[in-house]
């Protein structure tokens, strides 16, 4: 069955050429229905809604996501975003003893740097492993940097700048050999690239739902390996993480002996209603089918880019390429702005280029139209291009 049968479920596809799912996946029509359902429940059921599903919605939403990333049931909590999820992980550790090193890559998404740099004040030592270019990380250097002093290794499954899929297995293997924990930042992979957190044996995984999962903002997730859940004591914690939240005890927390110990406070109910729609669709299609289609369409983009002689800042081999293609053309920001003005929705990242990301709902025609439009723009004198204020940079 062609995945294009899903197109009517994504109304925005009728209005533009939507090739930006690495940034914001298209909204499924059923997300509106779920959000209406939320509004009706709030409106008509009021406070009773908490006991009619709202209180458990974090766990239930996590269970919808679980098969997409290869997690068992009841191992995921939902948070405002991936940064918050990752800060809860970091709060499980202390950085005062000999084991206080956090090993990062220079190609990480900046949020990881900002967050973990902040832990220096608690004693953390931050090591940033350099890459040789902005396309691939140096996994070998990262493996070498992990030692008995390492407490945490946050690592991206797919690099946001180049869409390079990283082989994280040697990192997990080395970290576990020396007693360190690995946090997989799955944001640019989940929903586009097959991922099995159980088979990887990774300790934690974090991400959010706005991109390939088509789940909208406000639905960050945190997976914790089941055998670790009850041994960890996050200090970023709240009443929803208490063993008996409705006992309203004060003083130090008595942790819930279940995934909710990572929950902090009240769940973000409307965001989790909207996320449900994307998760259901991605789970129903299945990531392997999405991946197969993505590889076809990204190959088509790369072939056209290479025919124009544009530099690709994305790995060309299928096993290394995630869901987007990054093309370095002169004056990339203005090219992206002009594409958007002509209803071809893409984005631009400094130091990377114009990023184009087809998803399961895109057609060959859309890709061809986007590339033809881009070629026209690139060969037009810059001074003739309009600047627009579309805020996606």
Ligand X SMILES: Cc1ncc(COP(=O)(O)O)c(C=O)c1O
Beta strand ranges found along the chain (DSSP E): 17-18, 76-79, 101-105, 125-129, 150-156, 181-185, 204-207, 220-224, 311-312, 325-328, 344-345, 347-349, 353-356
Q: Based on CB atoms, which residue is closest to ligand X, 75 or 156? A: 156
Identity of the residue, 186 or 305, whose beta carbon is nearer to ligand X in the bound complex = 186
187 or 223: CB nearest ligand X? 187
Q: Which is nearer to ligand X, 64 or 155 (CB)?
A: 155
Site string for ligand X, 59-98 (x = CB under 6 A): ----------------------xxx---------------
CA distance 185 to 73: 20
Per-residue contact track with ligand X, 207 to 236, x per CB under 6 A? -x-----------x----------------
Supply the DSSP symbol for 321.
B
User: Smallest distance from the beta carbon of 216 to ligand X, in angstroms?
Assistant: 12
Q: How long a stretch of residues is the chain?
A: 393
Minimal distance in Å, beta carbon 81 to ligand X?
3
Which of residues 260 and 347 has its CB atom nearest to ligand X in the complex? 347
Q: Judged by CB, which is closer to ligand X: 22, or 101?
A: 22
Q: How many residues interact with ligand X (rule CB under 6 A)?
A: 12
- Please select the residue that binds ligand X; options are 160, 255, 360, 361, rule is CB under 6 A: 160
Question: How near is the Cβ of 78 to ligand X at its closest, in Å?
Answer: 12
The sign of the CA dihedral 62, 66, 72, 78 is negative
Nearest 5 degrees, angle CA 365-CA 371-CA 376? 125
| Binding status of residue 156 toward ligand X by CB under 6 A | yes
Q: Tokens 């939507």 belong to which residue?
A: 18
Shortest separation between residue 220's beta carbon and ligand X, angstroms: 5
Decide: is 188 part of the binding site for ligand X (CB under 6 A). yes
Angle (deg, nearest 10), helices 269-285 and 29-40:
150
Contact between 111 and ligand X by CB under 6 A: the answer reads yes
Give the C-alpha separation, 74 to 34, whole Å.
22
Contact 185, 86 (CB under 8 A): yes
- For tokens 């037009």, the residue is 380
Q: Which residues are near ligand X by CB under 6 A? A: 81-83, 109, 111, 156, 160, 185, 187-188, 208, 220
């Amino acid at each position: 069955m062609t995945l294009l049968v899903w197109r009517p479920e994504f109304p925005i596809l009728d209005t533009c050429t939507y090739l930006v799912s690495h940034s914001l996946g298209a909204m499924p029509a059923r997300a509106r229905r779920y959000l209406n359902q939320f509004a009706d429940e709030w409106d008509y059921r009021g406070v009773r809604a908490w006991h009619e599903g709202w209180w458990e919605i974090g766990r239930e939403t996590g269970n919808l996501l679980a098969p997409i990333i290869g997690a068992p049931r009841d191992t995921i909590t939902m948070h405002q975003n991936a940064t918050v999820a990752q800060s809860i992980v970091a709060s499980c550790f202390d950085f005062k003893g000999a084991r206080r090193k956090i090993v990062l890559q220079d190609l990480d998404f900046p949020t990881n740097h900002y967050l973990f740099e902040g832990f220096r004040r608690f004693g953390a030592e931050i090591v940033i492993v350099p890459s040789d270019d902005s396309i691939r990380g140096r996994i070998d250097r990262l493996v070498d940097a992990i030692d008995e002093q390492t407490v945490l290794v946050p690592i991206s499954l797919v690099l946001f700048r180049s869409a390079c899929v990283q082989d994280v297995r040697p990192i997990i293997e080395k970290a576990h050999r020396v007693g360190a924990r690995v946090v997989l930042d799955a944001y640019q992979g989940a929903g586009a690239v097959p991922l099995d957190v159980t088979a990887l044996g990774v300790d934690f995984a974090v991400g959010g739902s706005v991109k390939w999962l088509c789940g909208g903002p406000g639905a960050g997730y945190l997976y914790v390996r089941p055998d670790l859940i009850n041994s960890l004591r996050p200090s970023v914690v709240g009443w929803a993480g208490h063993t008996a939240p409705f006992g309203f005890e004060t003083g130090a927390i008595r942790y819930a002996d279940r995934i909710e110990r990572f929950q902090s406070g009240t769940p973000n109910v409307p965001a989790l209603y909207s996320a449900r729609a994307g998760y259901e669709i991605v789970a129903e299609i299945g990531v392997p089918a999405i991946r197969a289609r993505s590889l076809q369409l990204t190959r088509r983009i790369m072939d056209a880019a290479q025919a124009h002689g544009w530099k690709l800042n994305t790995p060309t081999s299928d096993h290394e390429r995630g869901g987007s293609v990054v093309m370095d053309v002169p004056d990339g920001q203005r090219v992206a702005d002009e594409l958007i003005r002509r209803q071809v929705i893409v984005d631009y990242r400094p130091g990377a280029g114009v990023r184009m990301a087809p998803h399961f709902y895109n057609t060959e025609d859309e890709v061809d139209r986007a590339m033809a439009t881009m070629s026209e723009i690139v060969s037009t004198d810059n001074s003739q291009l309009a600047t627009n204020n579309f805020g996606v940079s």
